[in-house]
């Protein structure tokens, strides 16, 4: 397998965690999003959206981190990243989607650059990002109160945790101290697991 990503991309970070949890070997190909390497024609031929991550598995090319993770969960079922019960599976997916679809797109690099292009100054863009992340994680904290055990949904790692840890890492770019105690406790439990620590952007 080949994983195209960017070290600081939280979407790429999610897939690295999942691959590590599954024990799947891969080749990492890093694109520097800050330099616009994702917009080169050679990469657009791989992903027309010019986004990361992309997972290449033989002739199959998959985009969108959550779709990639669910694919991995189906072809490598152990350990499972979705709970066995329908209600808990829905909770795990809803939590992951709240991050991947509601928080992340509004504060990612492309959106912040576009805001600067519309004339917002650096402080206004920073305020935008902090508001989006803050309101989103406020909601996630309340969601976790309804389902959390040791992890976001019960006492086993799920898709929800794979989405949460990269988003909290991203939040630390804006806050030195996070205000979400339940989420922080879940993150601490996740970071006791080698697969999470090894996927972190600051890991050599």
Burial class (CB in 10 A: 0-12, 13-18, 19+), 101: exposed
What percentage of the chain has pLDDT greater than the value 70? 99
- Whether 141 and 108 share a structural domain: yes
CATH number for the domain spanning 57: value is: 3.40.30.10
Query: Considering the domain boundaries, does residue 135 fall inside one?
Result: yes
The number of CA neighbours under 13 Å toward the Cβ of 203 is 13
Report the predicted TM-score, pTM, of the whole model to 2 decimal places.
Answer: 0.96
Q: Please give the average per-residue pLDDT across 163-169, as a whole number.
A: 98
Total structural domains within the chain: 2
- Whether 103 and 138 share a structural domain: yes
- Whether 94 and 68 share a structural domain: no
Residue ranges making up the domain that contains 195: 86-199
Tell which residue, 180, 188, 179, has the closest CA to residue 143. 180
- Whether 99 and 162 share a structural domain: yes
pLDDT tens, residue by residue, 45-78: 999 999 999 999 999 999 999 999 999 999 999 9
CATH number for the domain spanning 178: value is: 1.20.1050.10
- Whether 21 and 114 share a structural domain: no
Q: Would you state the pLDDT for residue 167? A: 98
- Whether 171 and 94 share a structural domain: yes
Query: Considering the domain boundaries, does residue 80 fall inside one?
Result: no
Residues 150, 74 contacting (CB under 8 angstroms): no
pLDDT tens, residue by residue, 89-100: 999 999 999 999
- H or E stretch at 16: helix 10-22
pLDDT tens, residue by residue, 11-51: 999 999 999 999 999 999 999 999 999 999 999 999 999 99
pLDDT tens, residue by residue, 99-141: 999 999 999 999 999 999 999 999 999 999 999 999 999 999 9
């Amino acid at each position: 397998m080949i994983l195209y990503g960017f070290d600081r991309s939280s979407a790429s970070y999610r897939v690295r965690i999942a691959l590590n949890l599954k024990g799947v070997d891969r080749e990492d190909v890093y694109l520097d999003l800050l330099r616009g390497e994702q917009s080169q024609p050679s990469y657009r031929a791989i992903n027309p959206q010019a986004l990361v991550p992309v997972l290449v598995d033989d002739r199959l090319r998959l985009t969108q981190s959550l779709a990639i993770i669910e694919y991995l969960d189906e072809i490598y079922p152990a350990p499972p990243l979705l709970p066995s019960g329908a209600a808990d599976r829905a909770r795990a997916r809803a939590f992951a989607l709240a991050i991947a679809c509601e928080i992340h797109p509004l504060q990612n690099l492309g959106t912040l650059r576009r805001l600067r292009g519309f004339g917002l100054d650096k402080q206004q863009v920073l305020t935008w990002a902090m508001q989006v992340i803050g309101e989103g994680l406020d909601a996630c904290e309340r969601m976790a109160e309804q389902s959390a055990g040791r992890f976001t949904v019960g006492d086993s790692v799920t898709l929800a945790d794979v989405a949460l840890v990269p988003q909290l890492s991203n939040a630390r770019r804006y806050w030195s101290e996070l205000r979400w105690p339940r989420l922080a406790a879940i993150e601490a439990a996740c970071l006791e697991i080698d697969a999470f620590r090894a996927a972190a952007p600051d890991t050599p």
